[in-house]
């Protein structure tokens, strides 16, 4: 029987590695629990044996066929992570990019014998750094907003643009994003980028890959709260008109500008009023919350298909065309 180690940072005790070992709580816990449960339930449904780590401050998942290792410190997490990789056939890593948390755990996984079925360190090192991603995209002619390192940004020389977004180079989700409509209000910040603000429809498109081929999943709109530091509030499917084709083409172009990858990624973008006004914003080199919505629309087992495709097997996916709203 195949055994998969599913690691999700918030629920797995990853927070013990952060200053003060904060309690798992809030939207990060909600979204982490959502993603972990979706993958675990899908894999158990097709007879895959699952192992995971669990922060001792959280209740057990308690599902037949799912083995849990309790984590009570950063040292325990690293040791248990290595042991879980030793016992598994495949490993799926889900963690935030900030502080190199995702990259560090991807490297842990690559050091073990289990096959990694999420993006590897070469892809994650670029996609997890928004400045590196921007430079890679501009070389590959991927349409993306003009971007600067915050430490080098000068509003007076930024052309006619008068609105910008500042975000951490390694940010995840809507972490520490600020909007500026005046250069006079801007204050530089270390390890941050400044991106030209783009009008349009917030959208995302998820991709699966086996490191050779890419499959585009149905793109959807993102519910973004601009009044609350661009917080992500969920998504809606499907996109209308030609927006689906435009979003999938841009997502594929953005992904192929980086090294090949296995597993699932998400590409965030702005779709303009017409074709040619679309911009790639960033890549999430991991499972995203949109996975939960796509799982609901999939007429099969999306997690099992993701695993099979990452292992090199052919897959056929069908999705419902009915409208679906994901609210967080």
Of 134, 163, 196, which residue is a domain's last? 196
Q: Are residues 97 and 12 in the same domain?
A: yes
Q: What is the pLDDT of residues 239-295, one digit of tens each?
A: 988 999 999 999 999 999 999 999 999 999 999 988 889 999 999 999 998 999 999
Q: Are residues 43 and 100 in the same domain?
A: yes
Tell me the whole-structure pTM to 2 decimals: 0.93
106: three-class secondary structure by DSSP: helix
Residues 6+ away with beta carbon under 8 Å from 270: 145, 198, 199, 200, 201, 202, 203, 278, 279, 281
- pLDDT higher than 90, residue 57: yes
Residues 53-81: what's their mean pLDDT? 97
Q: Does residue 134 belong to any structural domain of this protein?
A: no
Greater model confidence, 201 or 172: 201
Q: Are residues 218 and 306 in the same domain?
A: yes
Q: Does residue 133 belong to any structural domain of this protein?
A: no
Residues 73-89: what's their mean pLDDT? 98
Q: Are residues 206 and 163 in the same domain?
A: no
Give the residue numbers spanning the domain of 71: 3-116
- At 295 the pLDDT is 95
Confidence label for 296 from pLDDT (cuts 50, 70 and 90)? very high
Residues 198-212: what's their mean pLDDT? 95
- At 274 the pLDDT is 82
Q: Are residues 237 and 286 in the same domain?
A: yes
Q: Are residues 15 and 89 in the same domain?
A: yes
Q: Are residues 209 and 171 in the same domain?
A: no
Of 162, 196, 230, which residue is a domain's last? 196
User: 27-31, 53-57, 87-91: which has the minimum mean pLDDT?
Assistant: 27-31
95: three-class secondary structure by DSSP: coil
Residues 6+ away with beta carbon under 8 Å from 197: 145, 161, 163, 164, 165, 179
Distance between CA atoms of 162 and 185, rounded to whole angstroms? 11
Q: Does residue 315 belong to any structural domain of this protein?
A: yes
Query: Would you give the distance in Å from CA 100 to the centre of its chain?
Result: 14
Name the β-bridge partners of 235. 222, 326
Q: Are residues 264 and 244 in the same domain?
A: yes
CATH number of residue 61's parent domain: 3.40.50.11770
- pLDDT higher than 60, residue 185: no
Residues 140-169: what's their mean pLDDT? 81
Q: Are residues 169 and 230 in the same domain?
A: no
CATH number of residue 273's parent domain: 3.30.470.20
What separation, in Å, do the N-terminal and C-terminal C-alpha atoms of the chain show?
35
Q: Does residue 208 belong to any structural domain of this protein?
A: yes
Q: Are residues 86 and 23 in the same domain?
A: yes
Residues 134-141: what's their mean pLDDT? 98
Q: Give the total number of structural domains in the chain.
A: 3
Distance between CA atoms of 3 and 112, rounded to whole angstroms? 14
Q: Does residue 112 belong to any structural domain of this protein?
A: yes
- At 188 the pLDDT is 56
Q: Does residue 130 belong to any structural domain of this protein?
A: no
Q: Are residues 107 and 219 in the same domain?
A: no
Beta strand spans in 176-261 (E):
178-180, 192-196, 201-210, 214-216, 220-225, 231-237
Q: Are residues 91 and 165 in the same domain?
A: no
Tokens at 137, concatenated = 């995209």
């Amino acid at each position: 029987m195949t055994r998969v180690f599913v690691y999700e940072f918030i629920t797995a005790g990853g927070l013990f590695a952060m200053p003060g070992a904060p309690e798992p709580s809030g939207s990060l816990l909600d979204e982490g629990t959502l993603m972990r449960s979706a993958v675990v339930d899908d894999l158990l449904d097709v007879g895959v044996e699952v192992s995971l780590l669990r922060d001792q401050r959280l209740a057990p998942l308690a599902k037949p066929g799912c083995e849990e290792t309790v984590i009570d410190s950063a040292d325990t997490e690293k040791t248990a992570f290595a042991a879980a990789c030793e016992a598994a056939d495949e490993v799926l890593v889900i963690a935030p990019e900030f502080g190199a948390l995702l990259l560090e755990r991807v490297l842990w996984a690559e050091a073990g014998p289990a096959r990694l079925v999420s993006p590897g360190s070469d892809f994650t090192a670029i996609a997890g750094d928004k400045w590196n991603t921007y430079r890679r995209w501009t070389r590959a002619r991927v349409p993306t907003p003009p971007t600067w390192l915050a430490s080098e940004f000068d509003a007076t020389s930024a052309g006619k643009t008068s609105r910008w977004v500042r975000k951490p180079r390694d940010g995840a989700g809507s972490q520490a994003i600020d909007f500026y409509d005046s250069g006079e209000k801007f204050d530089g910040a270390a390890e941050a980028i400044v991106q030209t603000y783009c009008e349009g429809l917030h959208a995302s498109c998820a991709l699966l890959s086996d490191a050779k081929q890419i499959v585009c999943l149905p793109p959807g709109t993102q519910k973004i709260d601009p009044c609350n530091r661009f917080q992500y509030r969920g998504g809606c499917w499907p996109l209308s008109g030609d927006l689906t084709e435009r979003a999938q083409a841009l997502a594929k172009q953005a992904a192929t500008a980086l090294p090949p990858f296995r597993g699932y990624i998400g590409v965030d973008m702005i779709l303009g009023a017409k074709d040619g006004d679309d911009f790639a914003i960033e890549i999430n080199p991991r499972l995203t919350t949109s996975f939960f919505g796509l799982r609901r629309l999939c007429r099969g087992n999306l997690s099992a298909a993701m695993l099979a495709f990452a292992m090199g097997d052919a897959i056929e996916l069908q999705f419902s065309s009915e409208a679906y709203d994901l609210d967080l």
